[in-house]
Chain A
Amino acid sequence: MTDWSNLSEQLKKLGVQYGKDKPLTVSAKKKIPIESLVPGHEFDTIFGNIFSSSHQYSQKHQHGSVPIKPFSRYEVLCEWAQANNLAESDISDFVFLDTETTGLSGGTGTIPFMIGAGRFIDDQFMLEQFFLRNPSEEKAQLAALNKFVNGGRAIVSYNGKSFDLPIINTRYIINQINNPFDEMFHIDLLHITRRVWKRRLKQCNLGNIEKEILGFYRTNEDIPGYLVPEFYRNYVINGDASQIANIFYHNEIDVVSLSALFTILAAILEDPTSEKLSHAEDIYSIGRLMESLNREVIAEEMYASDCFLSSSEEDLTLSLLSRARIHKRNRNYSEAIPLWHQAFSLGSTEAGLELAKYYEHNAKDYQQAIIITTQLLTQAKSQTHNEVGQNILVQLDHRLNRLLKKNANA
């Protein structure tokens, strides 16, 4: 029979360093319960009580410079999220959701010790934060969440598709509780946010979007997200909840920001021309987005914005090419040609190639095509240092020879 007394001694003999998670000195500090720091109430469920901190916001509340309640319709946003059925839904059908977890790497054992959820109920935005004072309260937490989201039709999250929801789904399975999210749509704002602002902002984490887009700045109560698991661990072991109060603030702002971000995205997508957009990068990105949603008229309008006149040549060229592309797709060459010429004069090879093709195949104006191709060749020769450049040169040579032959035969 194996002897398992004095385990730590035996393990030491085998050379194992098992104290990886820092042996904890239980601090002499007094235990400070969460109830004494954060206003909240006991949420009653069939699995017992769970502590929750509630917040009410007036639906007229402005988060930074953005109202938290959508003032426009959200048909296009729902269409983009492939949740068309939702377009006619009332705003109270949406649940804004964000979790704080015991680990950032995910995996079956990662627990969302705080689940923040917000909904528009009557004339208010109601926010509940279901918090595990210790991990044994999990069943009650999930049951309380079920009660709160009851009747909802969609979740709105930020990166919830890859992070929060998989973790929550696992918790429902393990605790054998019916998962309400199985039946709900999920609009993850991270992806659409990237589509709209990535060109300009590079960093699209919620914190940066808050500052740059919503104009909201957090107080020093906030803590960086990566500290959350460690703070919770300290709390469970030492019973001192002072750092947990900061997590409540962090989570609350995350949820409120979600609804404000939903408002602004819904408005932009519904009618981009109505919004006072002032950055050429954003306008170009929205044009691309509209194009991908088959809204070519609005897309063209975006690309034609006056903003590009004062933007960089690169952005102006992109907008010209995009407009021409839409016109070409609709065989509307009379509109496309001046745009290509303008882009070509800015040095765009793509525009030159489009013109050469047009003159050769559509207008059959070989001389004009030869002029353009010759210009392209001169331009390309000064730029060809790499393999791609070499390829273009070969193609242009080929095109010129063919044009010269056609011209001679004509």
Chain B
Amino acid sequence: MDQYLAAHPEYLVDQNPEQALIDPQNLVILLQHISCAAFELPFSTNEYFGSVSPDDLIGFLELLEQSGTITRQGDSFYWLADRYPAAEVSLRSSTPNVVSLNVLIGGNETKFIGSVDANAARWYVHNEAIYLHDADMYEVLELNLEAGVCLLKPSQSEYYTIPVISTHIIDFDLTSSVPYLNYSAIYGSLDLEISINTYQKKRWMTNEIIGVGLIDLPPQNLHSTGFWLGISPVLIEDLRSKGLWRSDPNNYGAGWDKLRQKILLRDSYTCRSCGTTIPPSELHVHHVQPFKTFADPAMANQPSNLVTLCASCHNKAEISVRVRSGLAAASYALRSIAPLLIMCDREDISLLSENRSILNDGNPAILVYDNIPGGIGLSRKLYDLRNFWIDQAIEVIQNCSCESGCPACVGPIGEPGYGGKTEGLALLRGLRND
């Protein structure tokens, strides 16, 4: 992001300084607004609230009346609850629910240091997470989401933690869409299931992964809004024919099962990285140089390129030499500049790229969605800016001086030569080829 700013000073100098977005029609925000307004002056039955019609407004007022917050007398609704609603509106997040952070300071005594938004708590303060507050490090002892409390202890950890978030699309509903030659732009509402099952421990400064841990939290449902690019099969076919599409799942070839057994036997059914011996069914055979980088499967499957690893070591190996497919590369670039275009925090939106997406009839899709329940218009704005967004991503990649991918354009690469810069650029250009 900062490299984009360095290359585009006009972003800071020429732009309208206030593009920050908030959607007043977000249900959660709207309800809080209406509460605050009802506190100050009674609503009457024929009033508008912004663009909310009296007919719609009455639904909100009746809801507040059912919960004993206001009372209807004739044609007016009067505030009744003994609280000050404006004090409950958080400027940091759209929902008022929070988790309070308590640090153990010897014995059973705890000290309250602050609070985090309840929705974000699961990825900031899950059990064993390292949490930074006022430049001090804390380790989470216990997160209790139901009670809204989190217990921490001071820590001198040499690593920080990053949750591994996996998103599953349960359902979606189109609001509007525009078909282009090579892709369709779709905006709509989404029901997502977001689960965090593992986290990575990364060493400070070097960002090297030194371990993984399990997180035992139930999956969370997020109802939000999103914008997705459904990539057309025609474009993929074209890219594939030019050797610029490497996002297909690997097909290791006919003799793979036999070959795999041979390698396991050769390596004495032992992980060659950590030496663990476990049941053969749980061992993996790993391509040292990634399979996708070979034109000829036979070359990739040379025994010299194959090695036995346990699941955990295999995972590490894959992460360090991850092959950046064009899809992942393009997503990375899009994701990096999106917060700049719509002026939001990086964590306010999420990007998901899928090779076989239900959003696009099993074809590849890139999805961006609001991380805020109900959505607050961030992905909507990206939908409106879609082609400008893609053009900016193209510009970032092609102007980057790196050879085949770096953190400033399509993302870091594990080993030289395996970046997805060319493929990512080809995909993005293909999208814009109307």
Contacts and interface: CB of A to CB of B under 8 A. Distances in A.
B284 interface: no
A33 to B, nearest CB: 15
Contact of B373 (A14, A106, A109, A236): A14
Contacts of A13: 221, 223, 373
Interface stretch (A4-12, A146-154, A402-410): A4-12
Contacts of B56: 4
A23 B67 contact: yes
Interface in B229-260: none
B79 A2 contact: no
A348 interface: no
Interface in A1-27: 2, 4-5, 7-8, 10-11, 13-24
A408 to B, nearest CB: 59
A103 B71 contact: no
Nearest to A134: B73
Given A8-B63, A20-B81, A230-B82, 13 more contacts: A4-B27, A7-B63, A14-B223, A15-B95, A15-B97, A19-B67, A21-B67, A102-B80, A104-B82, A109-B40, A134-B71, A135-B73, A136-B74
A108 B38 CA distance: 10
A224 interface: no
Nearest to A135: B78
B84 A237 contact: no
Interface in A70-114: 102-109, 111
B21 interface: no
29 contacts: A2-B25, A7-B27, A7-B59, A8-B63, A10-B27, A11-B28, A11-B31, A14-B95, A15-B95, A16-B28, A16-B95, A16-B97, A16-B373, A17-B97, A20-B67, A20-B83, A21-B68, A22-B67, A22-B68, A23-B68, A24-B68, A102-B80, A102-B82, A105-B83, A108-B40, A109-B39, A135-B73, A135-B78, A136-B76
A180 interface: no
B36 to A, nearest CB: 9
Contacts of A105: 82-84, 87
A61 interface: no
Interface in B92-125: 95, 97, 118-119
Interface string B359-385: 000000000000001100000000000
A103 B119 CA distance: 30
Nearest to A103: B82
A132 to B, nearest CB: 10
B86 interface: yes
A369 to B, nearest CB: 52
A233 B304 CA distance: 80
A19 B35 CA distance: 13
B69 interface: yes
A202 to B, nearest CB: 28
Interface residues of B, number: 40
Contacts of A24: 67-68
Interface string B199-236: 00000000000000000000001010000000000000
Quick one: which of B27, B60, B221, B373 has the most chain A CB within 10 A? Answer: B27
A18 B65 CA distance: 11
A64 interface: no
Given A14-B223, A18-B63, A136-B73, A229 B42 contact: no
B66 interface: yes
A237 B70 CA distance: 9
Closest 5 CB pairs of A and B: A109-B39, A135-B78, A229-B82, A14-B373, A21-B68
B27 A14 contact: yes
Contacts, number: 112
A10 to B, nearest CB: 6
Interface in A211-252: 229-230, 233, 236-237
Given A16-B31, A136-B74, A107 B39 contact: yes
B165 interface: no
Interface of A: 2, 4-5, 7-8, 10-11, 13-24, 102-109, 111, 134-136, 174, 229-230, 233, 236-237
A103 B73 contact: no
B69 A21 contact: yes
B373 A21 contact: no
A108 B63 CA distance: 22
A188 B109 CA distance: 42
B169 interface: no
Nearest to B78: A135
A152 B86 CA distance: 36
Contacts of B174: none
B41 interface: yes
Given A16-B95, A21-B69, A11 B81 contact: no
Contacts of A102: 79-80, 82
Contacts of A15: 95, 97, 118-119, 373
Contacts of A5: 59
Contacts of A8: 63, 66
Nearest to A232: B80
Contacts of A21: 67-69, 80-81, 83
Nearest to A6: B59
A135 B42 contact: yes
A13 B56 CA distance: 19
A102 B119 CA distance: 33
A233 B67 contact: no
A236 B80 contact: yes
Contacts of A104: 82
Contacts of A135: 42, 71, 73, 76, 78
Contacts of B25: 2
A230 B86 CA distance: 20
A18 B31 CA distance: 9
Nearest to A107: B84
B71 to A, nearest CB: 5
Nearest to A23: B67
A162 to B, nearest CB: 16
Contacts of B80: 21, 102, 233, 236-237
A317 B86 CA distance: 52
A18 B118 CA distance: 15
B82 A109 contact: no
A237 B80 CA distance: 9
A101 to B, nearest CB: 9
B32 to A, nearest CB: 9
A4 B31 CA distance: 12
A237 B68 contact: yes
Contact of A108 (B39, B69, B83, B87): B39
A230 B83 CA distance: 11
Contacts of A10: 27
A313 to B, nearest CB: 39
Quick one: which of B25, B38, B66 has the most chain A CB within 10 A? Answer: B66
A240 to B, nearest CB: 14
Nearest to A137: B73
A4 B59 contact: yes
A20 B80 CA distance: 13
B100 to A, nearest CB: 16
